[in-house]
Structure 1
Amino acid sequence: MNLVQFMKLRESLSPTEALVFDFCYENKAKLEQMTIQSLANQLYISPATISRMAQKMGFSGFKEYKYTLLLLNTEPISRDQPLPDYLEHYQQEVVQNINHTFQSIHLEQIESFMDWMTQAQSIEVFAIGGSSISGLDFARKLQSLNYNIHARQDWDDLLRISKLLKANDLAIFFSLSGTTKLILDCANNLLANGVKMIAFVGNPEAELLERSDLSFVCPSIYHYQGEADLSSRISFNTLTDLLIWRLNEKN
Structure 2
Amino acid sequence: MKTFLKRLSQHRDRLSQLEKQVLDYLLINPDKVIKLNVNELAKELFVSTATISRTCKQLGYDGFQDLKYTLSKYVDQDKEVHVISSTTMLSQIDRMKAEMDQTLQSINEEQIQKAASFIKESNFVEFFGVGASHPTCVEAARKLTFSGKISSAREDWDELRCVANSLTEQDLAILVSFSGETLHILEYANILKERNVRTIAVVGRQNSRLQQEVDLTFHAQIMNGYYGDLDMSSRFPLSILLDLMILTYMNKKS
TM interval, shorter chain, is: 0.5 to 0.7
SS of residue paired to 1:209: helix
1:96 aligns with 2:98: yes
- 2:198 equivalent to 1:196: yes
Q: Deviations over 1:12-57 (max 9, x none)?
A: xxxxxxxxxxxxxxxxxxxxxxxxxxxxxxxxxxxxxxxxxxxxxx
Equivalent position amino acid for 1:189 in 2: I
Residue-by-residue CA offset, 1:158-187 (whole Å, 9 max, x unaligned): 111111211111100110011011100000
Matches of 2:109 and 2:223, distance apart in 1: 26
Cα deviation, 1:95-129, whole Å, max 9, x if unaligned, reads 22122212222121011011100000111110010
Match of 1:151 among 150, 153, 162: 153
Residue of structure 1 aligned with 2:164, choices 153, 157, 162: 162
Percent identity for Structure 1 against Structure 2: 33
Q: Where does 1:1-251 land on structure 2 (aligned, <5 Å)?
A: 86-224=88-226, 228-251=230-253
How high is the TM-score relative to the length of structure 2? 0.62
**Any gaps of 5 or more consecutive residues in structure 2?**
1-85
1:225 & 1:184 partners in 2: Cα distance? 28
Asked if 2 retains the 8 angstrom alpha-carbon contact of 1:126 and 1:183, the reply is yes
**Which residue identity lines up with residue 223 of structure 2 in the other structure?**
I
Does the 8 A contact of 1:130 with 1:229 survive in 2?
A: no
What value does the CA root-mean-square deviation take over the aligned residues?
1.9
Look up the match of 1:63. Answer: none
**Cα shift at 1:232:** 1.2
C-alpha separation in 2, matches of 1:152 and 1:129: 12
Alpha carbons of 1:191 and 1:227: their partners in 2 closer, same or farther (altered >3 Å)?
Answer: farther
Q: CA deviation at 1:196?
A: 1.0
> What's 1:46 paired with?
none
In structure 1, the gaps of 5 or more residues are 1-83
With the length of structure 1 as denominator, give the TM-score of the two structures. 0.63
Deviations 1:35-91 (A, max 9, x none): xxxxxxxxxxxxxxxxxxxxxxxxxxxxxxxxxxxxxxxxxxxxxxxxx97122112
